[in-house]
Amino acid sequence: MKIWEKDIPLNKQVEQFTIGRDPEFDMDLAPFDALGSMAHATMLGEVGILTESEVKDLLTELKKILQDIEDQSFAIDPGMEDVHSQIEWQLTQKIGDAGKRLHTGRSRNDQVLVDLRMYFRASIKELMEDTSALFETLLQQSERFQDILIPGYTHLQAAMPSSFGLWFGAYAENLIDDIRQWNAVLEIINQNPLGSGAGYGSSVPLNRKRTTELLGFADLDYNVVHAQMGRGRSEMFMSFAIASTANTLSKLAMDVCLFNSQNFGFLKLPDAFTTGSSIMPHKKNPDVFELIRAKSNLMSQLPGSILGMIGHLPSGYHRDFQLLKELIFPAIESLKDCIELTRLAITEVEVHEDIMKDPRYKLTFSVEVVNDMVSKGIPFRDAYQEIAKQIEAGTFEAPQELAHTHEGSIGNLCNDAIREKFQKVWRQIDFSFEEKLAKLQQ
């Protein structure tokens, strides 16, 4: 069934082509379509479009549909175009004309928009909570291994002493910036488009602020054309945040693959996170992190793919937007998986001590000696030249101790300050929409 269908024969090949994978991805939207319909029905009753009895019947049946969705007994029947058609059909079958009257004052366009906004909003919350858990794991590992030195690299050349404390802590603090970006996207997403119709409003006397309140949106997309233009832009903003977090995971995964290799030998992955070779008995391959790296790199390309699809469209709805689900929905699930697998593996990773005693890393201490000479009054350039001569002559001796005291250095990780920075950002996030949705379902 198509809610737009008329008494005109449809070409089945065209029909299948235009429906595409919508029924598959619309299952993720199902609970939000029911919730959006509950808010819309409530509002239509308050403005006198629906009777009190019709609203009661609609809410009762929509709550049953929500329960079916939660129990995984809800399905989009063969021949149904999408979740919106399925729910409207079920309501009509159960309560008659009230099911048909529910669509008054809205288009499938704003129905999809509100479903997507609510789905994205819930996904952002889950992704931010997963990222928070990874942040805490990284910071704990930073504190646990803070005194174990490793080489720091520039140009993939051993450059200066670093530490596992710095390495783990760097990625933890990186995630704070990712959380900031997610929060910015949440603020954009958390605006109500319902009531914008096909993008040009309605002559029905809707109360759009009421549905905003019922659905827990922080604000209203006032201009109806602007609201409709949220289709595509919402996915675009989501893609930037996905790409940002994916970039953090990709770089971390690449480091792990390097550090786990025999040539580096800085850390060892738990056996459960490695795979073997079909012919080499000694091999333990970091396949989990290689896949995290590959999946993350694919997600990093998402903004370009989405902008390539929508970048040259004029205002108004276009069927092109339908294909955005095929890009953004799998990316959201992939990112969740990558964050969780990274957290699990990092929790169990083993680090090797005494790495810096290897003669290969002796020269990474050269800057320490230069700085020590400078602290005794020798000009930096003179000290630099002196140590360079010692290195060339093979007489350079590395110091036994380091004296890094400034904020964020090996000897002063500032992890407490990093944790406070995270908490400050976290306190700015508004997840109150969950309480509003719970109230709507009572």
CA distance 380 to 389: 14
CA distance 348 to 273: 9
CA distance 220 to 235: 18
Please say if 155 is a catalytic residue.
yes
Asked if residue 37 lies in contact with residue 62, where contact means CB atoms within 8 angstroms, the answer is: yes
Task: Out of 53, 261, 277, 315, pick the active-site residue.
Answer: 277
Asked if residue 219 lies in contact with residue 190, where contact means CB atoms within 8 angstroms, the answer is: yes
3-state secondary structure 39-64: HHHHHHHHCCCCCHHHHHHHHHHHHH
Q: Which two tokens stand for residue 54?
A: 């019709």
CA distance 20 to 253: 35
Q: Which two tokens stand for residue 441?
A: 């379902």
Strands (E), 224-383: 267-268, 350-351
Task: Out of 73, 155, 278, 312, pick the active-site residue.
Answer: 155
104, containing H or E segment: none
Q: What is the DSSP string of 140-205?
A: HHHHHTTT-EEEEEETTEEEEEEEHHHHHHHHHHHHHHHHHHHHHHHHHHSEE-TT-TTTT--SS-
- Which positions are catalytic? 155, 277
